[in-house]
């Protein structure tokens, strides 16, 4: 029977795990961790990865990632376009617009010169509103 070898947990993580266990056993469940323990976890996450450290130490992954300088993932409904990508027209050009209502417009043409798509978008928005 083939068994996958489980990598050994680094000694530094085991030491911090013992410190966290000791802290958790003497404090109420909702007590915030001291900053010194968070900083030790951040240093270990830089070396061994956020997921591994968060899982082994039973820490909040997102909280640890934030402390590392990671960006929190916020899921919000987009109300305005985040960006507009313009690619220089070649033989064929396609422009797609999407209104907050969900309506879509796609303009496709074969030409070497760009059209006045800003005016087209403005007229479409006025017709939507």
- 46-89 pLDDT, tens per residue? 888 899 999 999 999 999 998 888 544 444 445 566 666 666 65
**Which tokens hold the place of 95?**
């422009």
First to last CA, the chain: 67
Angle at alpha carbon of residue 18, lines to 13 and 19, rounded to 5°: 95
Whether the CB-CB separation of 96 and 104 falls below 8 Å is answered with yes
- pLDDT at position 88: 62
The closest of 57, 66, 67, 129 to 99, measured between CA atoms, is 129
Separation between Cα atoms, residue 20 and residue 58, nearest integer Å? 9
Report pLDDT for 105: 79
Write down the pLDDT at residue 129.
65
The bridge status of strand 104-109 relative to strand 93-98 is antiparallel
- Average pLDDT of the residues of the chain: 78
């Amino acid at each position: 029977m083939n068994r996958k070898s489980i990598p050994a947990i680094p000694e530094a993580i085991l030491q911090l795990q013992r410190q966290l266990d000791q802290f958790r056993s003497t404090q109420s469940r909702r007590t915030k961790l001291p900053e010194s323990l968070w900083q030790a976890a951040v240093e270990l996450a830089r070396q061994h990865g956020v997921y591994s450290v968060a899982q082994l130490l039973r820490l909040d992954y997102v909280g640890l990632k934030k402390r590392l300088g990671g960006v929190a993932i916020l899921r919000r409904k987009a109300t305005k376009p985040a960006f507009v990508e313009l690619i220089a027209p070649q033989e064929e050009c396609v422009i797609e617009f999407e209104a907050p209502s969900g309506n879509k417009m796609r303009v496709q043409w074969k030409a070497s010169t760009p059209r006045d798509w800003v005016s087209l978008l403005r007229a479409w928005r006025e017709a939507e509103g």
